[in-house]
Amino acid sequence: PFQLRSPWPGLTGCTARKTLTEVCVFGFEEFCHVLKAVGRCRAAFPRWWYNVTDRSCQQFVYGGCNGNKNNYLTKEECLEKCAGVTENTTDDSAASGTRVESSVPSVPRRQDSDDPFSDIFDYEEYCTAKAVTGPCRASFPRWYFNAEKNACDSFVYGGCRGNKNSYLSKEECMNRCFRKQLYPALPHSTKVVLAGLFLMVLILLLGASVVCLIRVAGRSQERTLRSVWSSGDDKEHLVKNVYVL
């Protein structure tokens, strides 16, 4: 056996096997048994809570205030604290030194994880989107990846309606996005120039189309006039022939 740091403050001496996750039951009712609490605030933080009925960690949206301790930043942290806890586990077992062992393998924290809340990584969504403060009035320091500078910059997040290019620390931001792009991001000035060229080409094409339509309409009108004059000449010629006769 090897020493495992207890997930619960104040409880020491926990040990576990390498192939098993051990939960030292101490105050679990606060951390693992209570239901999720969204809170009354209107922020939208992706969090995880332990569903003791299903014995699994599930994702929910936290409003930002009036929550409880069954609230974790990552699924790994949730499992580290609560894996193996059941409805029948009580605080009395903690007082008697009872330990709950689960057959769930220990969940290592993914160092190269692209997204702590999803296995799908979209570079455009997580790393090239502009920083969004949002309409709420909170003031959370966050970091976003500036693809043009290939670096992370700080900004203030209001607490709601942000995007996925928003990180709690500069290290998390760099680990997620630095050198992950499949192609170099174009500078803003280059994008403006390309957009201008595209607009000019579009205007030229529209102008050429209008000129062609005008020419076609002119030719059609000219043919119509010629046919009218031609029929008039024929009538005049017939009248002259009658007078001659």
Q: What does the alpha-carbon distance between residue 10 and residue 26 come to, in Å, rounded to a whole number?
A: 9
- Residue 243: predicted pLDDT: 58
Considering the domain architecture, whether residues 163 and 202 belong to the same structural domain is answered as no
Q: What does the alpha-carbon distance between residue 242 and residue 245 come to, in Å, rounded to a whole number?
A: 5
Considering the domain architecture, whether residues 23 and 89 belong to the same structural domain is answered as yes
Please tell me the total count of domains within the chain: 3
Helix (H) or strand (E) holding 133: none
Beta bridge partners of 22: 101
Residue 110 lies in a domain: no
- For the segment 121-141, the average pLDDT, to the nearest whole number, is 89
Helix (H, G, I), strand (E, B) or coil at 24: strand
User: Which amino acid is present at 122?
Assistant: D
Residue 111 lies in a domain: no
Considering the domain architecture, whether residues 82 and 162 belong to the same structural domain is answered as no
Q: In terms of Cα–Cα distance, which of 59, 64, 98, 52 is closest to 76?
A: 59
- For the segment 128-151, the average pLDDT, to the nearest whole number, is 92
Considering the domain architecture, whether residues 47 and 11 belong to the same structural domain is answered as yes
Residue 31 near residue 6, CB atoms below 8 Å: no
Place of tokens 């209107």: 42
Considering the domain architecture, whether residues 172 and 194 belong to the same structural domain is answered as no
pLDDT tens string 17-35: 333 333 444 467 888 999 9
Residue 140 lies in a domain: yes
E strands in the chain: 2-3, 15-16, 21-24, 45-51, 56-62, 99-102, 140-146, 151-157
Higher pLDDT, 112 or 241: 241
Considering the domain architecture, whether residues 220 and 240 belong to the same structural domain is answered as yes
Considering the domain architecture, whether residues 156 and 242 belong to the same structural domain is answered as no
Residue 151 lies in a domain: yes
Q: What does the alpha-carbon distance between residue 136 and residue 90 come to, in Å, rounded to a whole number?
A: 41
Residue 22 lies in a domain: yes
Considering the domain architecture, whether residues 95 and 8 belong to the same structural domain is answered as yes
For residue 175, give both structure tokens.
């680990």
Considering the domain architecture, whether residues 35 and 86 belong to the same structural domain is answered as yes
- Residue 190: predicted pLDDT: 67
Considering the domain architecture, whether residues 95 and 7 belong to the same structural domain is answered as yes
Angle among Cα 39, 44, 48 to the nearest 5 degrees reads 75
- Residue 34: predicted pLDDT: 92
pLDDT tens string 26-68: 467 888 999 999 998 888 889 999 999 989 999 999 988 889 9
- Residue 70: predicted pLDDT: 95
161: phi then psi, degrees, rounded to nearest 5? 55, 40
pLDDT tens string 155-180: 999 888 899 999 999 999 999 998 87
User: Which amino acid is present at 43?
Assistant: A
Considering the domain architecture, whether residues 97 and 149 belong to the same structural domain is answered as no
Considering the domain architecture, whether residues 17 and 60 belong to the same structural domain is answered as yes
Centre a 10 Å sphere on the Cβ of residue 46 and count the other Cβ atoms it contains.
15
What CATH number does the domain containing 166 carry? 4.10.410.10
What rounded mean pLDDT belongs to the chain? 74
Domain of residue 14 covers 2-102
